[in-house]
Amino acid sequence: MTMDNNYLEKFHERVIASLSPGGVISSFLPNYEARPEQIKMAEIVAKAIEGDKHLIAEAGTGTGKSLAYLVPFIFHAVESGKKIIISTHTKTLQSQLYHKDIPFLEKNLGVNFKYALCFGSGNYICYRRISSEYNRDLFESEAEARDLARIIGWSRETESGVKSDLGFIPRWNVWDNVSRDPDLCTGRKCIHFHQCFYQNAKKKERESDILVVNHSLFFTNLASEGRVLPNFHAVVFDEAHTLENVASSHLGVEISNTAIDFLFNSIYNERTNKGFLPKFENLSAPLTADIKMILKETRSANKNFWGEIEKLFGTTSDTKRIYGKNIVSDSLTKPLSSLVDSLGELLNFVQTEDGKMMVEFFMGKCKVSTLSLSFILKQDKEDYVYWLEIVNRRGMPKYSLMSSPIEVAKALEEKLFNQIKPCVLTSATLSLGGKFDFLRDRLGIKDALECRVESPFDYKKNVLLYFPKGISDPASDYNLFEEEVAVKIKEILEIMMGRTFILFTSYKMLNSVYEKLAEKYYGKLNLLKQGDMPRYELLKSFTENKHSVLLGNATFWQGIDVPGRALECVIITKLPFTVPTEPLIEARTELIKKRGKDPFTEYVLPEAVTMFKQGFGRLIRSKNDKGIVAVLDPRIRTKYYGRIFLNAIPSCAHTHDLAAFKNFLEPGLAMSE
């Protein structure tokens, strides 16, 4: 970006003036408080924009980092005519940006700009698919028909056409057959083009200065070489600590027995005589009969293929790494190819554009399945890891063959950081020991400015760390550790009687502790468990009842925002070390070891510390919040690395005494009643 010195000076002045006392933000923001940390971050974001430099910015909770990057980038977008992406990991932050922060700035910042919230195309209802004759006979059950009827009714009333506004969760196969699919889109040829929700959303995106997306959509766009989002010139990754894992999942390959079964049933289901194929019987009965026969043979090959997988790996739910090439013979690729060829012959008889597109769509699905299967079985890419996931529900195992790049640093350096400038990476948990070396190494970001701003909250006054004694080391006796943790949680809940998050590192321990708590507190506490209902419903129930206790795993360590007295205690049951046998983790540690380094200090420990910081960060969400973080894993006191975890969070008072725990919250308890 070419700017003269006069412009740079004015740009910088406008950014700082907007956020300083007496500026436009303070004039219109209720309960405004000057935040030097926010201004410091905004200054370096402006500097990154001015110099086309990447930026890694760690901003403690309460900094106001959203406004610190939004203000300079909005000015930049308007004045340069360049489009900016804001990418988040969680829907919570995405919603805050789109529904609160950006509208506030649009109204009060004093510049005219446009913005849009972006979704993947599969989130939009497709008028053409809903009305297509080829879709009418795909659904087999009355429940599916009811879902379809509700969706059709909603499609006549909705203004967005987005699945999240539907009001209920439809069966996935129903939505899959009525949502927008790029391979079935006729674009301007479609009679619904001007009413199309997706096309109208794309038009709004092209006209907008600021696009709000999630990391998943961003990396879908990256993997598709830019075919999903409009061209953009800069990106802000908020919640950037999650980038490596999101990127890995979107640069990988997956194929499952259930997905192939669904594909075959969509072509033709012999049991119900449904699918798209019967629609073509009047064109060439002999050919459709041949296709049915080939499909039957392909089904048999598919059953045999996954049967071999079952013999090798069993039916118990598990995740198992695949070490060797061609673990089973590829008995499926040839039949799938024959099915593609036979479907291709239909194109000689189909007269309508819709019909041709439908045939080509299923041909493409079969080809992708063939390529995915071959990629995983042959293991041609040595820098990938390959594994099998088994999920057995009601005696019906789902087998998913999966692969992912072991490292994403090189790909991100080449496809992202060398192509788009500036990229701003921000989060409350990016540094380790005050440095960003770990993040730089994992993501491949080399030439970048750095910034660390501390939280303005008074943690010493408002947070107590509780480290109980007498709990066994989980590495020595896990079962005893679990029993003792459950006892200690009950002691804490006798004091709290609600307003508590309990964070776990495994669903097995979560469910075990939940059962023990339910025996004692059923009817006394509002016990909530991850998996029992959607996340937003869990949080709604939690905040509406002061006697709530929420047990969460994985996603509940981060992206959850419950300010105020609704949450006054966070219990971290175990330090969040990743499972060492999880295929991707195992492959990463093997690679580090191969390079002559220590996987624990180079990767495992930094990952755990980052997640620990996230879990700790669930407690204090505003300057008036007060509460206790209880860490029940004794290793934080007994192991050398315990100090690394403690140094990574703000300095707080701490105790081993349950009486001190109770005394710390007595005033809060009195006010809560």
The one-letter code for the residue type at 50 is E
Two tokens, residue 386:
């390959």
- Strands in 444-559 per DSSP E: 448-453, 463-466, 500-504, 526-529, 548-553
Report pLDDT digits (tens) over 549-564: 999 998 899 988 888 8
pLDDT at 99 over 90: yes
What's the helix, strand, coil split of the chain in %, to 5? Answer: 50, 15, 30
Tell me, what DSSP letter sits at residue 383? T
Task: Determine which of 133-147, 274-288, 325-339, 378-392 has the lowest per-residue pLDDT on average.
Answer: 133-147
Cβ contact 420:233 at 8 Å? yes
Band of the pLDDT at 4, cuts 50, 70, 90?
Answer: low
Look at residue 48 and tell me whether its pLDDT is greater than 50.
yes
Tens-place pLDDT, residues 506-548: 999 999 999 999 999 988 999 999 988 888 889 999 999 999 9
- Judged by DSSP in three states, 390 sits in strand
pLDDT attached to residue 134:
63
Task: Over range 644-660, report the average pLDDT.
Answer: 94
CA–CA distance, 195 with 158 (Å, rounded to integer): 12
Task: Provide CB contacts within 8 A for 322, sequence distance 6+.
Answer: 376, 379, 386, 387, 388, 401
Reported as a pLDDT band with limits 50, 70 and 90, residue 608 is very high
The span from the CA of 336 to the CA of 333, in Å, is 5
Query: What's the start-to-end Cα distance of the chain, in Å?
Result: 57
pLDDT at 673: 29
Q: In this model, does residue 180 exceed pLDDT 60? A: yes
Of 243 and 562, the structure prediction assigns the larger pLDDT to 243
424 contacts 69 by C-beta, under 8 angstroms: yes
**Is the pTM here over 0.85, yes or no?**
yes
Checking if the pLDDT of 288 tops 70, the result is yes
- Nearest 5°: CA angle at 626, between 622 and 632? 115
pLDDT at residue 405 greater than cutoff 70: yes
Q: Is there a contact between 358 and 276 (Cβ–Cβ < 8 Å)?
A: yes
Q: Write the Ramachandran bin of 293: left for phi over 0, alpha for psi from -120 to 50, otherwise beta.
A: alpha
Q: What are the residues whose beta carbons fall under 8 Å from the beta carbon of 483, sequence distance 6 or more?
A: none
When mean pLDDT is compared across 280-284, 377-381, 544-548, the lowest value belongs to 280-284
350-367 pLDDT, tens digit per residue, is: 888 888 888 999 999 999
| pLDDT (average), residues 258-268 | 92
CATH superfamily of 459-672: P-loop containing nucleotide triphosphate hydrolases (3.40.50.300)
| Secondary structure (H, E, C), 634-645 | CHHHHCCCHHHH
H runs (alpha helix) in 237-349: 243-250, 257-267, 285-313, 333-346
Beta strands across the sheet bearing 396-405? 253-256, 396-405, 384-393, 318-321
Neighbours of 293 (CB within 10 A): 11
| H/E run at residue 86 | strand 84-88
* Confidence (pLDDT) at 133: 66
For residue 121, which amino acid is it?
S
Report the C-alpha gap between 396 and 413 in whole angstroms.
Answer: 42
CB 148 within 8 A of CB 173: no
State the burial class of residue 169 (Cβ atoms within 10 Å of its Cβ: 0-12, 13-18, 19+): exposed
Q: What would the mean pLDDT of 156-166 be, rounded to a whole number?
A: 91
Yes or no: say if 39 and 63 are a contact pair by the CB < 8 Å rule.
no
Cβ neighbours of residue 348 closer than 8 Å, sequence gap 6 or more: none
Identity at 582, one-letter amino acid code: E
Q: Tell me what pLDDT residue 667 has.
A: 47
Range with the lowest mean pLDDT among 6-10, 162-166, 281-285? 6-10
414-432 pLDDT tens trace: 999 999 999 999 999 999 9
Mean pLDDT, the chain, rounded, equals 91
Fold matches, 5-114+208-247+408-453 and 459-672:
yes
Residue 352 neighbours by CB distance under 10 Å: 10
The yes or no reply on domain 5-114+208-247+408-453 and CATH 3.30.2130.10 is no
Number of residues written out for the chain: 673
Is the pLDDT at 672 greater than 50, yes or no? no
Position 671 scores a pLDDT of: 30
Whether the pLDDT of residue 668 is over 60: the answer is no
φ, ψ dihedrals at 635, nearest 5°: -65, -20
Give pLDDT, residue 468: 96
Q: pLDDT tier at 135 (50, 70, 90 boundaries)?
A: low
Most confident of 187-191, 286-290, 588-592: 588-592
| 430 phi, psi to nearest 5 deg | -115, -30
pLDDT band at 137 (very low <50, low <70, confident <90, very high): low
SS3 210: strand
b/e for 469-502, b at 16 or more Cβ within 10 A? eebbebeeeeeebbbbbbebbeebbebbbbbbbb
The residues near 24 (Cβ < 8 Å, ≥ 6 apart) are 18, 108, 109, 110
Tokens of 20: 């300083």
How far is the C-alpha of 304 from the C-alpha of 128, rounded, in Å? Answer: 37
Q: Which two tokens stand for residue 347?
A: 């194109």
Domain boundaries, the chain: 5-114+208-247+408-453, 121-201, 253-405, 459-672
Tell how strand 384-393 and strand 318-321 pair up: antiparallel
What is the spatial order of strands in the sheet that 526-529 belongs to?
526-529, 548-553, 500-504, 569-572, 627-631, 463-466, 653-655
DSSP 477: -
Q: List the alpha helices (DSSP H) in 501-546.
A: 507-521, 535-544
pLDDT computed for residue 53 by the predictor:
95
